[in-house]
Structure 1
Amino acid sequence: MKQRVNVIGVGMTQFTKPGSSPEYYEMAAEAGRKALADAGIPYESVEQAFVGYVYGDSTCGQRSVYELGLTGIPVVNVNNNCSTGSSALYLARQAIEGGLAECVLALGFEKMSKGALGTMFNDRENPMGLHVPVMLDLQGFSSAPPAAQMFGGAGREYRWQHGTKKETFGKIAEKARKHASNNPYALFGQVLSLEEIMASPEVFDPLTRFQCCPPTCGAGAAILCSEAFAKKHGIKNPVYIAAQSMTTDYASSFEPRSMIKMVGYDMTQAAAKQVYEESGIGPDDIDVVELHDCFTANELLTYEALGLCPEGGAEKFIWDEDNTYGGKVVTNPSGGLLSKGHPLGATGLAQCTELVWQLRGTAEKRQVSGAQVALQHNLGLGGACVVTMYRRD
């Protein structure tokens, strides 16, 4: 029998620009302490820890949790590109669900460098070795950052298929800034108009600078536990994980050649389908979503992959403002990766934190009224996609 997995504590740091953050282990410890305090338990109650980061030496996870206590527990370091934080959450959920532990910490952090993401090891095969040839065949390679070329290319392919206006992508960034203005943890809280977003320098058609997430430093954490643990500690009506799925690339990611599929559309669609089937909850039942908007193009594509709107219906969904307060489903109330920031290892756990706050009704100015069902989507090229459904009875 699978055990229900509760999220009893969450915490995160304020996200900052590279060069202005504390040390990685200090950020991680801050998020961890906040999650423990939120759960109302000591670190000694934690039986295992799964710690995610992308840029760092081996066992940075241990260095981070040692700030919380030296209790000898297993610490597993996790690296799954931009889906790293949710991958740590996935492993922690499995440990609880399978009865292997009663209380587990999922922790993620990143101390990033300035500028676009780059390859760290140039003396071996790049892990994107199957993905890049798709891009080379379809659009070649330019001087723009590779990730922008990939997601921008997917956005351009979508435009050609559906006749989508460039401004439609800009509207997503406008929403992100508006939402982030109410989030004290966000990196960019300044509201921008659509005109300002479209006038910013082009990075890769159809993306302008304000439609690309920035390199960011920060940390997030979540404490997961079993039903028995929650009852023992007097924790009533916690947020719980109703379903979760991780997918990796399918053959369709590479053949037939499509930029949309190469950047993870089919991974997302399959993971969402699994979560809907397992939970018995469909996209029409969701109140709030935190999804992987590394670029505005990916947010648009993800609306359709998650079933929030019909295929080909994203432009209408955006201009009708069905993606924000007063619409069908509030997407990225935190400001998302575009405005909250994207510290790779922390992103998935920051999304988790926001959604737990939303379901508790403690998201302050960002609160989605009456939120009871929340969906999280975290994507990493190379590739992995984690989709998680949260509920509160």
Structure 2
Amino acid sequence: MNRRQLLASVAALTTISLSVPAWAQNEPLKVGFIYVGPVGDGGWTYQHDQGRQAIEAEFGDRVETTFIESVPEGADAERAITQLALAGNKLIFTTSFGFMDATINVAQKFPDVKFEHATGYKRADNVATYDARFYEGRAVMGTIAGHMTESNKIGYIGSFPIPEVIQGINSSYIHAKKVNPDVEIRVVWAYSWFDPAKEADAAAALIAEGVDVILQHTDSTAPLAKAQEAGAIGFGQASDMSNFAPNPRVSSIIDNWAPYYLDRVGAVLDGTWESKATWAGIGDGEVEIGEITDAVPAEVKEAALALKDQIGSGEYHPFTGPLNKADGSEWLAEGQVATDEELSGMNFFVEGITAQIPE
């Protein structure tokens, strides 16, 4: 994790500018997308594809977009990205953490193609990275969860034990604990971004442990369906998942990628594209909170929305001390705020979480 933290720090401090001409207007800019799940997953990939469609709506015949869905992370990703490059796509978005090395490898072979990798930290002259501060939305969800649990046990379905996911678990627990000192959090790892069967099994395992509120960092609606069966509540992940509202889905964390995609396509078209690292959140409109339903008491809804506004304005940071690590050692002193470098390399749970992070 130290290597990741160092690279993330470099990415945050360095911007590589490219001198590029404006796009020739007599031919459309071909823009390709690589998705880890199906466009109909109702979550992560669905939201990225909404961004792709926003590109078409905004730029019309100046662009031509295409996508390859359900691409496994690993060797298959490198083949799929290469396929898009060979097909003439001059801007390629690779939309999952596990596509990182494949993106860098293909970018070395196609220096005239610009690549954008979501949630990663490796960059090059023709590779930019972009991410969302999901932990901000998790703070709001955690606040609702802490208020709503009757068993004082909330559950979290994690995909992979990477900093982005660990941030979300910590943020959810910290803010649930703030409003409910008796709350506990149970964590189950699915080891997949999108696998409805595994996600349903994970939700069932949590419910069997007495959990009555489920959060997730996986992409399907399967945990909500399982929560519905058991009389538990849950939250939309990545997209609104409003088909499960007003109960069990009581709110959602929504990834709004469209503004970023419009900005980056526009930059290629006008010749101002540059390789940089972007990490946006609630205040930027990239992380949104879905409607909080009437299943949530009015005073809880008010508290959650007040927290959202405080985070969005910069008045409050979800990782503000005093906070200790799970082993009891001090992490953040009273009033101290975590740096982006610390968050980018997060490899520990905060005090009070008894779950283990897999190696």
TM range (shorter): under 0.3
> What TM-score results when the alignment is normalised by the length of structure 2?
0.28
> What TM-score results when the alignment is normalised by the length of structure 1?
0.26
